A and B are shown apart, each in its own frame.
Chain A
Amino acid sequence: MTIASKTPLTAGTKRLISLSTVLPWAFAALFLLILPVVFQTSSALTIMNQMAITIVFALSYNMLLGQGGMLSFGHAVYMGIGGFFAMHVLNMVEYQGLWLPLPLLPIIGGMFGMLFAFIIGSFSTRRAGTVFAMISLGVGELIAACSIIIVVFFGGEEGISGDRTMGPEFFGMDFASQSEVYYLTVVWLMIAAILMYLFSRTPIGRIANAVRDNEERAEFLGYSQRNVRWISFIVSGFFAGVAGSLFAVNFEILTEENLNLATSGSILLITFLGGVGFFIGPIIGAIVFTLLQTVLGLYTEIWSLYLGILFVASVMFFPGGFAGVIAMHRRPLSLGKLHLLTGPYLKVAIPAVTSILSLAAVLEILFHKRHGFAGDGAMSLYGITFDSHGYQALGLAIVIAAISLFLVSRITPEIKAAWDEANHAGDDQ
């Protein structure tokens, strides 16, 4: 009795690199090349560079959290270490005549990030979960505290700075202009992202997933869970170091801030918001976070409060992050029922946006009331100027919020029904 498999065996017959995996990368590369033509201002270039660095850093972080199941509270250490070493090498290029073209600098920074990950990983990767998290926190605090004491290396409180233009020219570029640095950063972004993607496809990357899901079973298969984690940790340290070097090249200064707990925490936030379950998650997270930081930061003082609320809400209700929410729609799409959702989504959009804006208005008015200068009650919000100390504006905001939330709660069952219908495979209409 043999049962014929529905799908014929394809192992070994598939092309090594299929068109469908190459295409997104090609599009991404093209997109990155065109981007500076569209946004030419210096500040836009700075934001895009910042984004690219954050993407590399977040991807390397997700190698631990998403692919290896290691929650780290001290990943900024490896980025910072890589950056500090890169900066010292940069200074050696300037003062001691070391020959090193700037585009090769991230390799050096990466190597040092890797070295530190090797040393620290030797004792921190024995266990995953809570214990790993606590050790990473302790080590992170240790290095951050050391950075103030060891002035020769970390430069004390003012940090260390350098000049990226002093090295040998690289094909006629001296990297004095922002756009040249942009292309350097973006080329490294593509290299790092492709390498990290390929790493997740290698057998060791797959085993890292296995250890994440069930370390005992992986051990029974003959893999040492500690070594598997250690290898992921070392590779992740390399790419964090690359990100740090890119930071050194872009901003030409590194301080204690680059390796402290706050930076480690924000990369966790970025990666989680983007979605740890997907390779693209951290990329989305880094882009959204940088945009939120720069745009919201312009308009409101309490943007980090909104970010905190968004983060906690995401952990509670959407543990898959942005990428997870998008991926939830794959099934309706493949069933061809995505159109069932557009109606309810459009219907809920207006009350939902109104409720968010009005709740934000309540917070803003309260904040202004508490912290505004004495006697100065005038504030403007959404283009309207009013007195924040009176009760009219606050009351109005609360009433609008209540009404819109009520409307959202009325539409929710409809969305749920549409969602169930859209995910229903059978065609019983």
Chain B
Amino acid sequence: MALFLVNILDGLVTGLLLFMLCSGLTLIFSMMGVLNFAHASFYMLGAYFAYQISTVTGFWMGLLVAPVIVGVIGALIERYGLRRVHKYGHVPELIFTFGLALLIEEVVQFFWGKSQMAYSEPLALDFAAFSIAGNSFPAYKVFMIFMAMGLFLVLLYILTKTRIGMTIQAALSYPETVQNLGHNVPLVFMCVFGVGTAMAGLAGVIAGPVLGTFPGMALQLGSIVFVTIVIGGLGSLWGALVASLIIGWLQTFAAAYNVAMEDILTAIGFTKPENIWDHPLQDLWTLTLPQIGPILPYLLMVFVLVLRPQGLMGKRET
């Protein structure tokens, strides 16, 4: 039971982290209709910038400054890159962001090399917040949970309660009408893109110390992020939240419980073949749950697409 609780909390951390990326991506997608393939690359940039800043001024300054830098870079890329490609259509836009993801990875390797950076959590948060039956829970993860939840609440408040949020929402659905009402819609788009990438950057800043700051971190998380928003339903913020949490828990529990296929098969009544390493079904017999953990999100995506093509909470068919 104690282990279960710890896993619930760990899964929550992973899920909320995923959601910090997915929310920005969803916002950008519902606005421009383009999936930002480079979204996870901005997450990586956030981690690297924060690391670079933290070597000079410490963790907290990095937390404040790095997302802003990432957001500004994102806004500039929207203004001078994406907007230029926009006239060719959605597929070239997607190819552009894909190229951007490649380029950002190369640029990161150009400046920081291929090895992992010594970016770690601040000393102030380097203690166990509480422990459940001997399993201590680090304070930094509590901090991550609060950061992600706080970000979500702020986002929700801005989008639904403020005048800016209303303009953004209106611009998502009827850009031309909003333009005619005298709002600068391209500016709105640029800002939303900047804020979305800044959120990805913030996620990178707080995830970097835990998941590691290395050039492969964008690729590692990137495809999971896309799978998440497809499962949740493209363009649905709540769907993104639900799917992020599901995937967070799925991965945590799969990694924590060592269920072996061998036990299941024996329990059903099969007998294990003598010479397992020459047997054609050796993989089936030696399969364990932690082993298939990484592919579970993709399997889930295929199932969701076959059974419910619009995603869990999406409105339009995907």
Contacts and interface: CB of A to CB of B under 8 A. Distances in A.
Contacts of A141: 223, 227, 298
A71 B91 contact: yes
B88 interface: yes
Interface residues of A, number: 45
Interface in A109-127: 123-124, 126-127
Contact of B35 (A134, A146, A152, A265): A134
Interface residues of B, number: 50
A133 interface: yes
Of the listed residues B98, B227, B283, B292, the one surrounded by the most CB atoms of chain A closer than 10 A to its CB is B98
B96 interface: yes
A261 B219 contact: yes
Of the listed residues B33, B81, B100, B298, the one surrounded by the most CB atoms of chain A closer than 10 A to its CB is B298
Contact of B84 (A129, A272, A308, A316): A316
A142 B35 contact: no
B283 A137 contact: no
A51 B14 CA distance: 43
B302 A139 contact: yes
Contact of B91 (A69, A134, A265): A69
Interface string B246-285: 0000000000000000000000000000000000111100
Of the listed residues B29, B34, B81, B92, the one surrounded by the most CB atoms of chain A closer than 10 A to its CB is B92
Interface stretch (A344-352, A363-371, A379-387, A403-411): A363-371
Contact of A149 (B94, B291, B305): B291
A130 interface: yes
Contact of A315 (B34, B99, B230, B305): B99
Contact of A367 (B110, B287, B302): B110
B226 A142 contact: no
A63 B303 CA distance: 27
B44 to A, nearest CB: 14
B301 interface: yes
12 contacts: A65-B91, A123-B305, A130-B29, A134-B230, A135-B301, A137-B223, A138-B230, A141-B223, A145-B295, A315-B99, A316-B84, A319-B85
Interface of A: 65, 69, 71, 73, 123-124, 126-127, 129-131, 133-135, 137-139, 141-142, 145-146, 149-152, 261, 265, 268-269, 272, 302, 304-305, 308-309, 311-312, 315-316, 319, 363, 366-367, 370-371
Given A145-B294, A149-B283, A308-B102, 20 more contacts: A65-B91, A127-B318, A131-B230, A131-B318, A133-B91, A138-B226, A139-B298, A141-B223, A142-B299, A142-B301, A142-B302, A146-B295, A149-B287, A151-B283, A152-B281, A305-B109, A308-B103, A312-B81, A315-B92, A367-B110
